[in-house]
Amino acid sequence: MTSWQITRVFAGIVILVSLAFGAPAGPLFMSSWWLWVTAFVGANLLQSGFTRWCPMEILLRKLGARSGA
Query: Alpha-carbon distance 52 to 44, whole Å?
Result: 11
Going by pLDDT thresholds of 50, 70 and 90, the confidence category of residue 27 is confident
> Residue 68 has what pLDDT?
74
Query: Alpha-carbon distance 59 to 27, whole Å?
Result: 32
Per-residue pLDDT reduced to its tens digit, 32-58: 999 999 999 999 999 999 999 999 999
Residues 6+ apart with CB under 8 A from 10: 56
